[in-house]
Amino acid sequence: MTTRWPSHAAVVKRPLRPEALAVCDRIKVLLAKFWHGNQSEMARVTGVPQSAIAKAVHRKCAIGRESLARICQTVNIDGTWLLTGQGPMIRGECRNDRIRSVLAALLAELGEGRT
């Protein structure tokens, strides 16, 4: 008895969940921001296969956890932002912004004391 596999055309593709689509959209943002849309360069720098990047960008397939982790580590991206869209895109950005605002306030106070 021979097992018959369905032809490629007969395989039904399940649509990606909304969360996966959102991650794909954020990968597109990173691709544009850090690699000027060049998938091959993103693949070279991150070690993520170019085919995986292309599938994510074209919303055909969710990208794996290991690939997401590589992208985050390579360009210091906050994993929470990549997965949910919440928080700062760049790790530590929020803390640095708070430090800048405190320093600006202190400098302003010092400047006022001189007059």
| Phi, psi dihedral angles at 33 (to 5 degrees) | -70, -45
* Residue 48 belongs to some domain of the structure: yes
* Residue 76 belongs to some domain of the structure: yes
* Residue 102 belongs to some domain of the structure: yes
* Residue 32 belongs to some domain of the structure: yes
Per-residue pLDDT, 114 = 53
* Residue 40 belongs to some domain of the structure: yes
Where in the sequence is the domain holding 64, given as residue range(s)?
A: 14-113
DSSP summary character for residue 49: -
Q: How confident is the model at residue 30 (pLDDT cuts 50, 70, 90)?
A: very high
* Residue 8 belongs to some domain of the structure: no
Per-residue pLDDT, 38 = 96
Q: Name the domain count of the chain.
A: 1
The predicted model scores a pTM of 0.66
Rounded to the nearest 5 percent, the helix, strand and coil shares of the chain are: 65, 0, 35
* Residue 4 belongs to some domain of the structure: no
93: pLDDT strictly greater than 80? no
* Residue 44 belongs to some domain of the structure: yes
CATH assignment of the domain containing 41: 1.10.260.40
Tokens of 13: 């593709």
